[in-house]
Amino acid sequence: MFLERARRARLLAEQYPASREILVFYAGVAEWQSRVTAPDLHGLRTFLPSLLDLVVRTAPPTLADTARQLEPAAFDRLIAGYWEAADSAGDVSTSQFFARALLQPYAAKLPAGLDCPWCRKPPQVGCLQPQAEGLAFEISCALCMRRRAFERGRCPGCNESTESQLCSFTTPDFPHLRLQACDRCKGYLQVIDLSRDPAAFPEVDELAGLPLDLWAQEHGYHKLQSNIVGI
């Protein structure tokens, strides 16, 4: 599945030049994640050196500098802190990127009965899924990336359901993307319409929507949950 995400990111990088740098970097991370297998959190330790090497070689300068300074001894604190931060704010620091990159493939393979703690946090992205005669709304966890159904006329951040407080923004530049925003909590998330592009991966395609993120933040909204690159 991570290799498919990598291929999707490289395809989108050709279509959306403004987001190309982020998409190409993410494609490399997703390819690396496809090789991460660990029976428990401690087993992820062996993959940290190769992640640091990848980031030093391919990441934007700020993140690459963090990789050069990150000590392997900080691994346990970094991983445990991020895994257990289910009630913390959603911003992703440069150091937290490494925990998230390591934990995503682990969390995505959790067996039934072992829940991802980040599923309790606000979602990273939403999607509209064709269902019967209409579209069902689903939200995706920022860590395990599993989806769950959510009421379409409700804010995933504060549960506001007053129609006048909820708004949606679209642009012809991104025909299968939209912003769903709440004027009560000023939170927003990108929503990917899978009826318009069934090949989309919500957590990948929202990276292509960087200009939408910038527009929303310029207009006073904040993202409910940052993506893996901290946007």
SS3 179: strand
pLDDT of residue 91: 46
CA nearest to 146, candidates 203, 84, 225, 224? 203
Query: Terminal CA-to-CA distance of the chain, rounded, Å?
Result: 22
pLDDT of residue 114: 73
User: Strands, E, within 170-221: which ranges?
Assistant: 177-182, 187-193
Per-residue pLDDT tens for 153-207?
A: 999 999 999 999 999 999 999 999 999 999 999 999 999 999 999 999 999 999 9
With contact defined as beta carbons under 8 Å apart, do 137 and 126 qualify? Answer: yes
Domains of the chain listed by start with CATH number? 2-108 (no CATH), 117-223 (3.90.1670.10)
Residue 220 phi/psi, 5-degree rounding, is 90, 10
SS3 81: helix
pLDDT of residue 89: 45
Determine the Cα–Cα distance for residues 34 and 30; give it in Å rounded to an integer. 6
Instruction: Scan for tokens 């925003």, then name that residue.
Output: 181
Determine the Cα–Cα distance for residues 113 and 102; give it in Å rounded to an integer. 21
pLDDT of residue 160: 96
Residues of the chain with pLDDT under 70: 86-93, 113
